[in-house]
Structure 1
Amino acid sequence: MAGVNLNIQSVPNLRDLGGYDTTDGKKIKEGLVYRSNQLNPISREDISKLQALHLKTIYDLRTAEERAQFPDQISGDSKEIWLNVLADNSSAGVATLAKTLQNTNEVNTIMGNGKAVELFKQVYTDLVELPSAKKAYHDFFLSLANDKNLPALFHCTAGKDRTGWAAASLLALLGTPKDQIYSNYLDSNTYLIPAYQKQIDSFVAAGVKKDIILDVIGVRKEYLDASFNTVEKNYGSIENYFEQGLHIDKTTQEKIKKNLLST
């Protein structure tokens, strides 16, 4: 099964990125690259399940503040690499949503009437355009070209935005059909919304409109559209985005494909 969730309760959005068939008749190998939400808090039992993945590398896409508040609970021999995607724009967007949501009286004003959706569409544009995002994703994909770094896991806080674009762009590079890329992306709703149901209910009880909370905690097709549209506008293709935007040349792109695809 493609994009399978590992059913680790304290890491609800942890999924294998493998199993997808590509448009040129290949398949993405399973057990090599995982996408996830933050690795904190994790139960002792679930830490054992994570250790069973034998991860060599863990990529943390969060800001310094996010990492300080919830440092990854990593044990074993995994190497951690910090890639601060939003370093150039950490004062806005997904990195500060928790603070915004703390003031329930202002949430409806700040985020209502479609403003949350527009905010996230801008974030997803930034994921393609920000210099810090380009550097972070360059380092991430360059690392995947070295099979000694695999198996690997990459994550942000909820595992849906910074992680979502990393997963979507990687799947696109590997030749995954677009409907499957979007299916993988939208699956974050399936795993995150039930996991955050108590928080959703408490926000609604405090007077926050439910659609705002779902737009913030979940994902929407329009968000990912913003990234892919920016790639199309600026580069013309996913391969050009990797080569011109991320400075991952075609030879390195082929190394990534060789490591992650089976015939």
Structure 2
Amino acid sequence: MSRARIRLAATGVLLSALAVGTLPASAYAANAAPTPATAPTTARHPQYPQHPQQPADTIRRIPLQGAVNVRDIGGYRTLLGGQVRQGLVYRADALGKLTDADLTTVSGLGLTKVVDFRIPMEVQYDGADRLPAGLTSTSRQVSDRGLYGFLVGAIATGDPVKQEQMLGGGRAEAYMREVYRTFVTNPDSRAQFAATLRDISDGKQGPLLYHCTSGKDRTGWLSYVLLRALAVPTATAEQDYLASNTFRAAYDAQVRAGLKQSGRMQDPDLLIPLQEVRQDYLDTATAQLEADYGSFYGYLTDGLGLDLRTLAKLQVKLVRS
């Protein structure tokens, strides 16, 4: 049997499993400059028991000076014994502050498409993407449910009492949960996520990068969905999502320190729930998709409108046996 036939057969097994539900269900920045990336380029995860003979999965980070959360989503093992190919799909935070050295690094990725999920207010405050010559961003605005404006407004008050009223007492966390529900319930957001997944599945499409402002919420959700669609174990997809906290920690702490020193926030720790990703936020979105569509497979097909051919093309293109 040819490799193509074997891959398509494996894809059929995956889609059947999904169908029956057998798979597990710059306001921040103020005037601070990004901290040069000094963290290791890989972060190890525990070895999975279904592949005891294989090395532990790693997160493949692309170290840059002007962006701190840029990664190759490849390398992860799948439930069917395959591995997600590297060098085809990248996730990132905003690219407006890339240095000349960063541009050289990004050029080496061979990108043919960059998708920007930011809304106009974010681009206005943080700047348009700075990309290698010949490459321009495709704008696919995904609603942040007013999060960016809410954050800017809270900081702009300069009033500790008002900031506590806006962000304290669990209100920031509740706001984030509503943002994540919107990823599932907002039809325009679903359409933008679906369009990007279709681009990724296209065999003629070269390496693609998608991003938002911090590379953690809209970008994190799409990465989680993509990895799950490729049959990467749920626990692995969750760890990829949560890794934004590791890669963003130093920069986000610098932002909070700058806001305190400038006098704009007496208690900048109020921002932590907005700066972080949390399992609770992700669980809110997955609970919403199950409520609306019955299962992850239902979300892919009914929510995002991806047909079986597109799901199969994702497998064939991105997973090697």
TM surpasses 0.5 = yes
CA change 1:236–1:208 in 2 (3 A) is farther
CA change 1:177–1:104 in 2 (3 A) is farther
Contact 1:38 1:72 in 2 (8 A): yes
> Which residue of 1 is the match for residue 79 of structure 2?
23
CA change 1:156–1:13 in 2 (3 A) is same
Aligned mates of 2:132, 2:86 — CA distance in 1? 22
CA change 1:96–1:152 in 2 (3 A) is farther
Q: Show CA shifts across 1:191-230 (max 9, x none).
A: 1120232211133454543542211111111111111111
Q: Secondary structure at the match of 1:157?
A: coil
Aligned mates of 1:231, 1:173 — CA distance in 2? 14
CA change 1:107–1:26 in 2 (3 A) is same
Higher helix share: 1
1:217-236 to structure 2, matched below 5 A, reads 217-236=275-294
Q: 1:237 Cα shift?
A: 2.0
Gaps spanning 5+ residues in structure 1: where?
none
> Which residue of 1 is the match for residue 225 of structure 2?
169
CA change 1:28–1:133 in 2 (3 A) is same
> Which residue of 1 is the match for residue 28 of structure 2?
none
> Which residue of 2 is the match for residue 249 of structure 1?
307
Contact 2:181 2:285 in 1 (8 A): yes
> Which residue of 1 is the match for residue 155 of structure 2?
101
Q: Segments of 4+ in structure 1 off by > 6 A? A: none
TM-score, scaled to structure 2: 0.77
CA change 1:133–1:208 in 2 (3 A) is farther
> Which residue of 2 is the match for residue 68 of structure 1?
124
Q: Secondary structure at the match of 2:204?
A: helix
Gaps spanning 5+ residues in structure 2: where?
1-56
> Which residue of 1 is the match for residue 96 of structure 2?
40
> Alignment identity in percent?
27
Q: State which structure, 1 or 2, has the greater radius of gyration over its C-alpha atoms.
A: 2
Q: 1:185 Cα shift?
A: 0.8
Aligned mates of 1:55, 1:24 — CA distance in 2? 28
1:83 pairs, out of 128, 135, 140, with 140
After the TM superposition, which of the residue ranges 74-83 and 172-181 deviates more from structure 2? 74-83
